[in-house]
Amino acid sequence: MKTNIYVLCGGKSVEHDISLRSASAIMNAIDREKYNVYPIYITNEGVWCNLGLLEEKINAPDELRRTTSSTVSFSIGEFLTKVLNNSEKNLVIPALHGPNGEDGTIQGFLELLDIPYLGNEVLSSAVAMDKVMTKDLFSKYNIPQVKYLSFRLHSWQENEEDAYNLVENEIGYPCYVKPSNGGSSVGISRAENREELKSSFKEAFLYDRKIIIEKEIVAREMQISVIGNNHPKASVPGEFIMERPFFDYNAKYIDGKLIPVIPARLEPGVSDKVRETAVKAFKILNCHGLARVDIFVTDENEIFVNEVNTMPGFTAVSMTPVLWGATDGTTYAELIERLIQLALERYNEKKVIVNTR
């Protein structure tokens, strides 16, 4: 009997469109001889839409979009009663990026349903999604990272000048202002003076109630994919040729001007240290399945962990699959199968946990 794979895509997130790209590539690569594939499109309002058994490959991500007058609760109930077949083998791939998908919310829902799912669990997803929580945790384990401050919306509203003064005294210019929860560079700004700092605060607070301010360092950013459960392994590092101070949303997904360099231009010893640090960060966050760890490397070969992405972009040209192709020759389809098996392995391990006395 084939296993049913339900691929969740879209979502109530500013990274909605990126999710559709990742989901399209994933579904096209899944082995149809082994699996039945069911796309579940989630609208910007959070309503679930069942697209039925996928018979053909997806030509364009927009083919997954649907409009509906249903409600969130009714649509989820319909999925549970009319779509999900509990008498068969099932697995969920939450191909969702950002809040309401990558932050532990959907993972908690799937845990309650007792369904195996690809990727990280509740805690690792939630902590890694929150940049401040991640950095606070890394500080405990002496993971190298740039100097940072964080602010909550209410404290900034109560005394803006104190916030700006603290940033100038503790961080200085230039600095980066980011929503604590988010991805794909949405809401991130670079500030070189007080006026830019003010506008950056306002921009970041549009996307979250907590923000983080980081000191700028002169460095190249490496991206490392880590895959595994109990014995995670790191890919070779990759990097992008920088054409601007930082890559915003347009640079990453619209302009099409990113030029990847894989393997990254690093001395062998530095490359090894970067990979070891990526695995350490993965373990500290209790990750499972996959994650992409972004690490800065200076001209003096100092390293600083930037962030951990627990559901990185997954198109055929995204860093994660490309990195593994360069590391050990793993194809995109083989990588998807490997992640599916890791999800089942983790699920079966948890099934032996005793829940009664």
CATH of domain 147-215: 3.30.1490.20
- Mean pLDDT score of the chain, rounded to an integer? 93
- Among 143, 142, 150, 182, residue whose Cα is nearest residue 167: 150
Domain borders along the chain are 3-117, 147-215, 218-350
pLDDT for the residue numbered 254: 47
Distance CA 261, CA 326 (A): 11
Which residues, listed in sequence order, are joined to residue 90 by a DSSP beta bridge? 4
Taking only the tens of pLDDT, the chain with its 357 residues reads: 899 999 999 999 889 999 999 999 999 999 999 999 999 999 999 999 999 999 999 999 999 999 999 999 999 999 999 999 888 999 999 999 988 999 999 999 999 999 999 999 999 999 999 999 999 999 999 999 999 999 999 999 999 999 999 999 999 999 999 999 875 567 899 999 999 999 999 999 999 999 999 999 999 999 999 999 999 999 999 998 865 555 554 554 445 567 889 999 999 999 999 999 999 999 999 999 999 999 999 999 999 999 999 999 999 889 999 999 999 999 999 999 999 999 999 999 998 887 777
- Among 335, 323, 310, 339, residue whose Cα is nearest residue 15: 310
CATH architecture of 3-117: 3-Layer(aba) Sandwich (3.40)
pLDDT for the residue numbered 244: 53
- Among 348, 294, 229, 324, residue whose Cα is nearest residue 29: 324
Cβ atoms of residues 181 and 99 within 8 Å:
yes
pLDDT for the residue numbered 69: 95
Q: What are phi and psi of 237, to 5 degrees?
A: -70, 150
Cβ atoms of residues 235 and 307 within 8 Å:
no
- CATH fold for domain 218-350: D-amino Acid Aminotransferase; Chain A, domain 1 (3.30.470)
First to last CA, the chain: 35
- Amino acid (1-letter code) at residue 46: G
Q: What pLDDT digit, counting tens, does each position of 256-281 carry?
A: 567 889 999 999 999 999 999 999 99
CA angle 264, 319, 208 (to 5 degrees): 115
Distance CA 344, CA 288 (A): 11
pLDDT for the residue numbered 316: 87
Cβ atoms of residues 106 and 96 within 8 Å:
yes
